[in-house]
Structure 1
Amino acid sequence: MSLSRLRFPLVTAFLTLAVLLLGWTGAAHASGDGLVDEYRAVYGTPGVAAAVVDGKAVETIVRGRDGDGNAVTARTRFRIASMSKSMTAAAIMVLVDRGRVSLDDPVVKLLPDFKLADARFAGITVRHLLSHTSGLSGSTNNEYVFPPPRTAQEVVATLADKRLAADPGTRWEYHNTNYSIAARIVEVVSGKPFDAFLQAEVFTPLGMTGTSSTLGCSDEADGLPYAYEVVLGVAVAVPEMPGTCVGNGGVISTLDDMVRWLRFNQGTSGSDLLSAASLAQMHTPQPQAEGYGLGWQSRPGAPTPVIRHGGTLATWTGDMVFSPKAGIAAVVLTNSGGDPGLLAANLLAERIGAATTPMSNALTLVNVILLGLTVVIAVLLVTAIVRARRWAVRRRAARRPWLVLRLVPLTLVTVAGAVVPALIWGAFDLQYWIVTLWLLPLLALFGLVCFVLGAVALVRSLWFFRRVADV
């Protein structure tokens, strides 16, 4: 359940306000070490493993600790989240090179059980899946259900009653399910479990000995500790949020192995894995895909065009980028939230002598505001709870009780607390409480305080009001 494209309108507004209020521009650094140290200071990241690949030279920068308290090294294991998509695309391209699959094959040709409650699904091709132009959408297919489906086969089965949001091949929308379907294609065509195929046909040939894949985002794996939630500088090791990661975000890797992966994609190693044409296809923007290729995204920006992909889970983030023109690549792996894409871009820019982008963490201000609001509302509601009996006596003694002045605000606060996730997701569903708890714990705390204390204050006020009447 990679979270790379979750949209948070409320958080975006908070972040914009924070940037305006902070007005902080940061400072330039002359080395990769300085950039990584600054990133950790800004985001409070417990552990970072980063590398810059420049020809045969590799600058490795490791800092901090893993979830078990051990020092991070180039062999420390990290979940790489949506960077896994590039590896799923490579698995498909292996089958393409062997003549087992064509990018323009209809998915139904390869997966007879694949179906949706929408006749247009028959037009979805493998290329559409890998370029996120299938028409599948979060608006018609909720990817964050609990409990989540585990296997690629289960993901495909859940689509039977879903509809498309657009005709296949006409609109780009980043949607993780596309890659779970692609993983199922790999399984059916190859006759192997997806993780076994990746291990045998992708990781082993490239010498990625510390890399493996899991079905679920929170599955345990050898040598993989918990990652961290960081709130206002306090880091706590916690399990990853449950979700479906098969094909779209389930790979676990190391810095050493990710350097090998970047070199393969730069065309400097592993040439026997894919043909040059297939590798180039992965990096080439596809029709109607807004610069997205097959598991990679092309960006033409200054000072040099780059090919990149990021990855975000609730407790793991990372990014990888390379410049075909400059021949330089960078990769960042972290064990908490943050903006590793900015760090990777800065590492690349620093190496080619371009200006770096200032770092600032506006989420710090968001959390300060949320904590302040939580304390204020808690004090007000506790006061209402303590004074409920006194209020009831006064209201009964008054000619006009004006109950609405007390009960309506308490009702509104209680209801608002229950639907806090709807402010982010645009809809109310209990499962969104779980997602909010992992991604914005202080917002979840604010909602819980409003709901629990508001409900207690409301019930206590009504109870005393009726009891006073009976005396």
Structure 2
Amino acid sequence: MHFLRLRFPRVTSHLVLAGVLVAVLLGWTAPARATGERQIDDYRTVYGTPGVAAAVINGSSVETIVRGRDGDGNAVTARTRFRIGSMSKSMTAAAIMLLVDRGRISLDEPVVKVLPGFKMADPRFAGITVRQILSHTSGLSNSTNNEYAFPPPRSPQEIVAGLAGKTLLADPGTYWEYHNTNYSIAARIVEVVSGKPFDAFLHTELFTPLGMTSTGSTLGCSDHAEGLPSGHLVVPGIAVAAPEMPGICVGNGGVISTLDDMVRWLKFNQGTLGVDLLSAASLAQMHTVQPKAGDYALGWRARPVKADAPPSLIGHGGTLATWTGDMVFSPKTGVAALVLTNSGGDPSLLATNLLAERIGEPTTPMSNPLTVVNMILLGLTGVMAALLVTAIVRARRWASRRRLARRPLLVLRLVPLALVTVLGILAPTLVWGPFNLQYWIVTIWLMPLLALFSLTCCVLGAVALGRRLWLFRRAG
């Protein structure tokens, strides 16, 4: 009893002190983690995202948050594979910088010097430099080189060969336009200079040295990859597992990775992992905004932490039809955030908000503008379907009335249905510009409710028009 009486106050004080330390630590870390989890849960609610894998890096600390399920129905983990879309461009730029460090190429030498097969039907192409293709200032444009043509090319060699009959929109180095073909040209440069297929070069020279053991790449956006579940279309608010839209992704968006591996990629770009792989000067060049490129660097871009602030972060997003992601870091604080999702959405907003929380900046409220658009399209589709089905059902009565009328005014009476049918055919031009049949394919993946509205107008409008004409002739 004497021992207990002497020691108890000391034991109690130790317990109280330990409790205070735990409380202090929890007071600093628990709210941050809870806030991050709330941000991700809110994001999934707003965008209907089935699965999210996110991480926040702060020095040696890495906080990971995973939610939902993949396309196979399994719980998302830090080892779940995702397509990362245009985040791949940072890896293509790093592959080029590896060759620069080894003295194999120079950023400011003409592409034709390192890629003899590169030709265009525009004499200005000879002035395009390696730096300009990496900064999207080559003068290439979708208006003169349609990237959505079907069927898509199957290799970087085919892409380069396909440019032989194309022209530039502007003089190289004077105009910026984000154009994926630039990075497919870069992939071909890597192949020609290194003597290795592009995916093999990435594997041996980048991914393996950095310990990114679950990362690989494909030529096509929809190519099969081992262990990769399906992405999703969300229409509206309902996630449906779906194959990716066909397209050529080599160099510009074909990498498949995991949260764990992408954390390593961010650490490499922050200069805390694989420090001997790439020179500090080359790494800094990748993150430096280039001349005439707006906010674009080399596979990265500068951006603000909020809409009305100057650029203070370095990041890059990735958007495919059924996958989206984003990565961003603050050079000043060293804090980084990473988001991978298996559906559409705005992951750059989520990643920036996760980072903003850690550096004491205000976050931006999340909203999905497509929610209203989709509800309007769904409503219009329902109304149009009801009207057109009614016109089809009542076509016999309409034909009889027109036959009995003194002035049938047949053409004028058919104009509304003809206009509805034409509206169905041309509706995708409201989003994509001048009419092109291939944009129907793009619309099916990227805006499926617009495609449904278009098909409803086109098919039911044509049926109603044809049935009225046929029954009018029979009534005679």
Q: Structure 1 length as normaliser, TM-score?
A: 0.92
- Cα distance between partner residues in 2 of 1:382 and 1:29: 53
Q: Secondary structure at the match of 1:407?
A: helix
Q: Distance in 2 between matches of 1:104 and 1:365?
A: 47
- Counterpart for residue 433 of structure 2: 426
* Counterparts of 2:74 and 2:335, CA distance in 1: 30
Aligned residue among 81, 89, 95 for 1:91: 95
How far does residue 272 in structure 1 lie from its aligned partner after superposition? 1.1
2:359 to 352, 356, 366: 352
**Pick aligned residue for 2:41 from 37, 50, 57:** 37
Q: How does 1:257-406 map to 2 (within 5 A)?
A: 257-299=261-303, 302=309, 305-406=312-413
Q: What is the CA distance between 1:423 and its match in structure 2?
A: 1.6
Q: CA RMSD in A?
A: 1.2
Q: Which amino acid aligns with 1:37?
A: D
Give 1:159's aligned amino acid: L
Determine the C-alpha separation between the residues in 1 that align with 2:405 and 2:37.
Answer: 70
Q: Is contact 1:303-1:354 (8 Å) kept?
A: no
1:448 matches 2:459: no
2:105 to 101, 105, 110: 101
For residue 416 of structure 1, the aligned residue among 423, 430, 436 is 423
Deviation at 1:468, TM superposition (A): 1.1
SS at the partner of 2:363? coil
User: Structure 2 stretches of 5 or more lacking a match?
Assistant: 1-31
* 3-state SS of 1:331 partner: strand
Rounded to whole Å, the distance in 2 between the matches of 1:310 and 1:224 is 20
Deviation at 1:299, TM superposition (A): 2.4
Kindly provide the amino acid, as one letter, of the partner of residue 218 in structure 1.
S
Question: 2:215 touches 2:261 (CA, 8 Å); kept in 1?
Answer: yes
C-alpha deviation, 1:189, in angstroms? 0.2
Q: Please report how far the alpha carbon of residue 455 of structure 1 lies from its aligned counterpart in structure 2 after TM superposition.
A: 0.5
Shift of 1:404: 3.4
Cα drift, residue 425 of structure 1: 1.4
1:457 and 2:461 correspond = no
| 1:81 and 1:248 in contact (8 A); partners too | yes
- 2:303/2:310 contact within 8 Å kept: no
Greater relative contact order (Cα 8 A, min sep 6): structure 1 or 2? Answer: 1
Output one character per residue of 1:214-242: Cα deviation in whole Å (capped at 9) or x when no partner: 00000010110111001121111000000
Comparing 335-344 and 225-234, the one that deviates more: 225-234
- Deviation per residue, 1:79-124 (Å, 9 max, x gap): 0000000000000000000000100110000111101100000000
In the alignment, structure 1 segments of 5+ residues that lack a partner are 1-27
* 1:329 aligned counterpart, secondary structure: strand
Q: Tell me if the contact between 1:183 and 1:194 (Cα under 8 Å) persists in the aligned partners.
A: yes
Determine if the alignment matches structure 1 residue 200 to structure 2 residue 204.
yes
TM-score (norm 2): 0.91
Counterpart CA distance in 1 for 2:131 and 2:474 is: 69
What amino acid is aligned across from residue 45 of structure 1 in structure 2?
T
Q: How many pairs were matched up? A: 442
2:255 aligns to what? 251
Report runs of 4+ in structure 1 exceeding 6 Å deviation: none
Distance 2:295 2:50 in 1: 33
Aligned 8 A contact 1:97 1:274 in 2: yes
Offset from partner CA, 1:117-149 (integer Å, 9 cap, x none): 000000000000000000000110000011100
What code does the residue aligned with 1:193 have?
Answer: P
